[in-house]
Structure 1
Amino acid sequence: MTNNISYGNLYIVPTPIGNYNDITQRALAILNKVDFILSEDTRKTGILLKYFNINNKLYSYYEFNEYKQTINVIKSLQNGKNIALVSDAGTPLINDPGYRIVQLCRTKFNNTIKIIPLGGPCAAILALSASGLPTNRFCYEGFLSKKKNKRIKRLQELKFEYRTLIIYESKHRILNCLYDIKNIFGENRYIVIAKDLTKKWENIHGDTVFNLINWINLDKNRLKGEIVLIVQGYNQTVIINNNDKIIKILYELKKELSTKTAIKIVSQIYKIKKNILYKLIISKNID
């Protein structure tokens, strides 16, 4: 017996994060033709649709109605409806609701409901591409916890992460976050702050976390807007060469101990490779 069931498609549609000119022709075509659009914030999406003269049904899908709406969406897809999923801005599901719908489509329906992602803007990738930090390996952390203790714990776990880190932060917590990074990663860790990407007030600024904090404190307007932090990954050679504390300890130990013993002690305390410490002693002329 032939199965004549024809399921609908779920389109993952990125929308501009600031500059409306970044929307693609394909995104506009999909938003026009689907049976309805599922949006995290119908007010924001409504403004976007109005700007492009798109008259389509718009339904909300956010954290607090996610379970109920997931069931409704799956039923609609089963009935052959085509649906577009958008977020407030940028690529859906990146720190936004939508995961449960996609997961159910993949698992419960064994790929019979097609998930069709479209290309488009993503603040994390835009900031990374303009940071000047390594892009071959990176780690996306999204928003760190609002609670200081949890934020500190997570940063401690990330202290020795060698990949470039991508962190989202709000204007209300950015300074607290930077102070925590300084205290845990060290004041010389290089960070790029990307603010209001693609908008009129776009600003991308990189410096050590120590200097970055001072830069923000000089002008609190630099706190405004949507912020992405691109944080240099842990690099023993770079970080140790700029760590005055480690250099001072080696200098003091060398007064009383052999080079080999001084290196062994510092290596055990700071979990630093011995060959890196040996190169440091030579480069800094520590005798």
Structure 2
Amino acid sequence: MQQQKSFEQGETGTLFLVPTPIGNLQDMTPRAIETLKQVDLIAAEDTRHTQQLLNHFDIKTKQTSFHEHNWQNKLQSIIIDLQNGKNIAQVSDAGMPSISDPGKELVSAAVEVGLTVVPIPGATAGITALIASGLVPQPFYFYGFLQRKSSDQIAELQQLSTIRDTIIFYESPHRIKKTLENIQKIMGEERRVVLARELTKRYEEFLRGTTKELVEWAQNNEIRGEFVMMIAGYQGVVEKEEALDDRNLSVQEAVNNLINRGLKPNAAIKQIAKLRGLDRQSVYSDYHGIDD
């Protein structure tokens, strides 16, 4: 068991997780500003982007980059700085560190060696969109980003299709159309969906409707801005036979079951291999009747 008393004085430093505005700079809290001013170092996802924020609030603290491409090289040096008594703030480009952004690896490493980790409350796009969506706000299921490859995305949506909680995704403007089409394909035309774009900015917009209506909107409009996508929870009856992988089925039957649900053969093979803990190549060979 580990017990953290966040504001007890100690010999080591503290890792502060500081949210930044998701669009409107006025959403930066006084506590977040003061924390960034007082720490010894800011670990930023993009130092150029964060520097604009620091300049706006007249924050002079030194930065170091910490993102998905360099965290393995930078992690240990930041942990050593914390162990030597430095206070460090971590920020992402917008919103909460670790929520679909870099952060979790540093937090995990800090917790593992007994360092103090203090979260600062503030802006987060998913919750901001959810409370104005008109959908049931709780329980909700935050999923983050779906896979980019369409076949992988369809497999994910298959697994999520019978969740009864409101589901929250993040999506980019150039992928939103295809994602909506896949949701319609897997979850039907009448599932309620809400899109929130450009949150807290001048052109903030909410689009509420069925999957069919929003697919038509995406097909007939120029799409701009980053999106929070929310899907109403499943209201139907979930039968046992609807399970993605019935273990009474052979590998070939299980793969065909997923193909009948809309997956392409290779995506179905990959899914069954993952669900059953099998080698993908052996499932491929079994399905296609290839002898070793």
| Interval containing the TM-score (normalised by the shorter chain) | 0.7 to 0.9
Partner of 1:230: 230
Partner of 1:173: 175
Change (3 A) 1:116 1:174: same
Specify the SS of the correspondent of 2:110: helix
Partner of 2:204: 202
Partner of 2:164: 162
- Between the aligned partners of 2:25 and 2:139, the Cα distance in structure 1 is 30
User: 1:216 Cα shift?
Assistant: 2.7
Q: Which has the higher helix share?
A: 1
1:99 aligned to 98, 104, 107, which one?
A: 104
> Which letter does structure 1 place at the counterpart of 2:26?
N
**Stretches (4+) displaced over 6 A:** 267-271
Change (3 A) 1:74 1:212: same
Structure 2 residue runs without a partner (length 5+): 1-8, 244-292
Partner of 1:18: 23
Specify the SS of the correspondent of 1:64: coil
Change (3 A) 1:268 1:36: closer
- Between the aligned partners of 2:104 and 2:64, the Cα distance in structure 1 is 17
Partner of 1:144: 146
Does residue 192 (structure 1) correspond to residue 194 (structure 2)? The answer is yes
Q: CA RMSD in A?
A: 1.9
Partner of 1:134: 136
Does residue 219 (structure 1) correspond to residue 221 (structure 2)? The answer is yes
> Which letter does structure 2 place at the counterpart of 1:98?
G
TM-score (structure 2 length as normaliser): 0.77
Partner of 2:250: none
TM-score (structure 1 length as normaliser): 0.79
Matched residue count: 235
- Between the aligned partners of 2:139 and 2:240, the Cα distance in structure 1 is 28
User: 1:69 Cα shift?
Assistant: 1.0
Identity %: 41
User: 1:174 Cα shift?
Assistant: 0.4
- Between the aligned partners of 1:102 and 1:70, the Cα distance in structure 2 is 10
Structure 1 residue runs without a partner (length 5+): 238-266, 272-287
- If you compute each CA radius of gyration, which structure gives the higher value, 1 or 2? 1
User: 1:89 Cα shift?
Assistant: 0.4
1:124 aligned to 112, 126, 130, which one?
A: 126
Does residue 63 (structure 1) correspond to residue 65 (structure 2)? The answer is no
Partner of 1:7: 12
User: 1:217 Cα shift?
Assistant: 2.7
The Cα offsets for residues 228-248 of structure 1, whole Å up to 9 and x where unpaired, read as: 1011010128xxxxxxxxxxx
The Cα offsets for residues 88-146 of structure 1, whole Å up to 9 and x where unpaired, read as: 00011101111111111212x2x3x1101001000011011111111121111111011
> Which letter does structure 2 place at the counterpart of 1:198?
T
Partner of 2:251: none
